[in-house]
Amino acid sequence: MGHALIDLFVAPSPGELGDECTLDDHCSGINHTLCRSGFCQCQRGYKRSMGKCPMKLIDEDCEDDVDCKVPGSHCDPSSKTCSCDLGRMSNVNHNYCIWRKVQDKCVLHEDCNASMKNSFCSSDYNICSCVIGNIPSVDLAKCHPHDDIGDIVKTVLYIVAISVLIITNIFLVMMFTKILRNLETQRDFYDHSKVGSQCTSNIDCYAAITNSHCHNASCDCNLGHYDDHNGTQCIRRVLNDTCTEATDCNSVIPEAICNDEDLCDCPLAYEWTEYWDACRKRVIGSFCQEDEECFSAVEFSHCDNRTSECDCTEAFMPNGNNTICLVRPTMPPFVQIPPDRGPTCNPNSSTDDCASYNDSRCLTIGLQSYCVCQPGYGRRSSQDPCVRVISYEASIVLNRINRKYDVGNLTFEDDLHDVTSKQFQELATRLELNGIATSLLSSDMRMTYIESHVMSFDPFLPWGIRVNAVINFEFNETALLHNINQTQSVFESFLSGSQGELGNSGMYVPESYTDHLLIEDLDECNSSRWMTLHNCDVEAVCLNFVGTFSCICHLEYKDISSNVIYPGRSCKARTVPSILLNLEYTFRSASCTNGVCETPWGMVLGALGSIFGLLFIMLVIEVVYRTREMSRIIDRTVLKCVLREEKVKLRRKTILSQKRRKENRGMKKSVSFTASTKVSGSVDALASIEGSAIIIIKYKLNVAYVNFLTETPDTNNSTGQGIDNLALDITDEILQAKDTPGEKRSSSSTEGGVDNLAIDITDET
């Protein structure tokens, strides 16, 4: 999988002319072709012929100068044909534009003067000729000023004669005359010497004709030269001149040959020089049209049809002077760290496959689903438990990638938009493990680093990709010290030491790392990503904080989350006062424009007024309740005071009754049994019955009173006194029953009832 991404940059199989295509590389099977309108076609300046694209020649159709590839040519706007530039003319094969020479055909004076100074186009013969006072050079490529030998000699002799006139006037005159005669004779001979003229020695020829010699008693041009058809000059051959054998060419042009068209030419391994006077061996970077022209000169080379230059094949590289293709060293092989995704799961299962893994959920990554940690949690490996994390977001630009032999440009593919595609998963794994993890594990943050996740890829122009990733650190005191700026510094320091390589991923960040790498807080509440980064309930609000997030249930919902440390994970509907709902609606209605939120203060003040009104009503109710309660307390206090006073009076009466009992002991015996017996039963009933005890005692007292009247037929005085004694006895019995130790007493309310009973009995009596 390490070289999977490199395959993205390998060109498809080459096509032929007329084949369908989408890229220029699809047409690399034929030189000088491009992909136009979905088909492989010849480039401009080349024509289709015999399944190939040879270069357009002189006098062939063109639209502009781009269509004319012959050196020194242009597109004639009037005739719309490729023509040679001013001062040049086409060779026999119409594939080169050579400079005009003396005696070459012409039409205008500029045709000659542009290539040779002091020349013009003769109207008689329409050929280039030198102006008067100039003569052509040996190779007919220039017109030199003419030097008259006789004039020079005369001038020299005249000067000499003047200088020695006084001493040897007669001698100088004789010598001068003799010299003139010899010069005239020699000049007459030379002026009549031509190629083919009779001769006896080489001097008879080359004295008059440069580059000539005497051969078989006649003047002939040297090897590699030819006469100018007038026999007056021997012109040195250049490339593209006519020939009959190889020596006609290579005698003056090393390595030249006489081709099948009887023209001097360079072998395939050589190229023409600028002035066509030499053959130079091709090197890497030389102009070419066919692959044979390159690999015949440099082994393991070919002709690059995009640049029309010789270049080494993919597995080779040129040496320092571009004369040899050396074996190209390969880049270190990329080794992918195997991903540890954890146990697989079925997201459509009726049971939770991840229930046995704490704080886990089932998430689909690519084409497979795995048990991963809940949002806000992470783990280093599938064997480790999920721990709480601090999360940052990283935006990293990558523009180069290691290929087999070199580092090439990284281009964005459309498949990287699809998180389920193979390209996305392979590149994401490469960056998560070999890139981000390797960079952080080699720093001081290795103890708190947990994991990273690539969220998306975006294109970066002119070439490259932008990686958007989440980086998780363990939530502890050490991690809290690693702020965003420190994380940014760690990445920049690593990139500076690795020449821009992110970890050991074989992918590179452009220079000026600060502009192409950004670490910032992760907004877990942003729902635009393919993977949800928070687990708030649908009825809760997600709140983003630096490094983490929190959740809060809506006011009309109750938080029933299992862990109070992480609220808002589970919300249940509840009934709340309408005023609170209105308050929540008020704050939710705040509008935000350009990042500035404006609160509707009218609605806020209305809600606050409603709250204060409710509080005032509750305060009034509380005051009324407190007033009534205080009145009851006062009434109870007064009643207790009255009862205590009555109790004191009753005890006084008891003491008085004891004294009277001694005086009336006889009468007490007659009624004590009946009264005391019944009253004792009443006292026992009083211990268990509080509300109805008084009524029962009063009833039994009346019975005792009736019995007393029927059994004691005394006088009125004795009867009244007996009744008083009976009341005192009953009261005394009640008080004794109340104060008897060991008896089961009732509450304080029962004691109060006994006191009241005693008072009532006394009153009844």
| pLDDT of amino acid 367 | 75
Higher pLDDT, 147 or 251: 251
The percent of residues above 70 in pLDDT, for the chain, comes to 75
| pLDDT of amino acid 251 | 92
Answer yes or no: pTM beyond 0.75.
no
pLDDT digits (tens, 9 = 90+) for 361-403: 888 876 788 888 888 888 888 888 888 899 999 999 999 999 8
Assess whether pLDDT exceeds 70 at residue 649: yes
Tokens of 633: 């307390």
SS3 553: strand
Mean pLDDT (the chain, rounded)? 78
| pLDDT of amino acid 187 | 53
| pLDDT of amino acid 184 | 56
Contact 93, 113 (CB under 8 A): no
Minimum mean pLDDT range among 458-472, 557-571, 630-644:
630-644
Band of residue 690 on the pLDDT scale cut at 50, 70, 90 = very low
HSE of 238, CA atoms in CB hemisphere, 13 A? 17
Band of residue 556 on the pLDDT scale cut at 50, 70, 90 = confident
Assess whether pLDDT exceeds 60 at residue 471: yes
pLDDT digits (tens, 9 = 90+) for 232-281: 889 999 999 999 999 999 999 999 999 999 999 999 999 998 888 899 99
Please, which residues have CB within 8 angstroms of residue 122's CB and are 6 or more apart in sequence? 128, 129
Indicate if the alpha-carbon torsion angle 362, 365, 370, 373 is positive or negative. negative
CA 12/CA 254 separation, integer angstroms: 43
Band of residue 27 on the pLDDT scale cut at 50, 70, 90 = confident
Instruction: Give the architecture (CATH level 2) of 389-521.
Output: 2-Layer Sandwich (3.30)
Band of residue 152 on the pLDDT scale cut at 50, 70, 90 = low
| pLDDT of amino acid 109 | 85
How many helices (H) does the chain have, and how many strands (E)? 16, 38
| pLDDT of amino acid 164 | 66
Mean pLDDT of 620-649: 83
| pLDDT of amino acid 528 | 63
Range ranked top by mean pLDDT from 145-149, 320-324, 713-717: 320-324
Band of residue 516 on the pLDDT scale cut at 50, 70, 90 = very high
| pLDDT of amino acid 576 | 53
Band of residue 671 on the pLDDT scale cut at 50, 70, 90 = very low
| pLDDT of amino acid 686 | 37
| pLDDT of amino acid 491 | 93
Assess whether pLDDT exceeds 70 at residue 176: yes
Reported in sequence order, the residue ranges of 12-170 that DSSP labels E, i.e. its strands, are 33-36, 39-42, 73-76, 81-84, 88-90, 97-99, 119-121, 128-130, 134-136, 143-145
Mean pLDDT of 322-349: 86
Contact 231, 238 (CB under 8 A): no
Neighbours of 532 (CB within 10 A): 13
Mean pLDDT of 708-726: 43
| pLDDT of amino acid 246 | 92
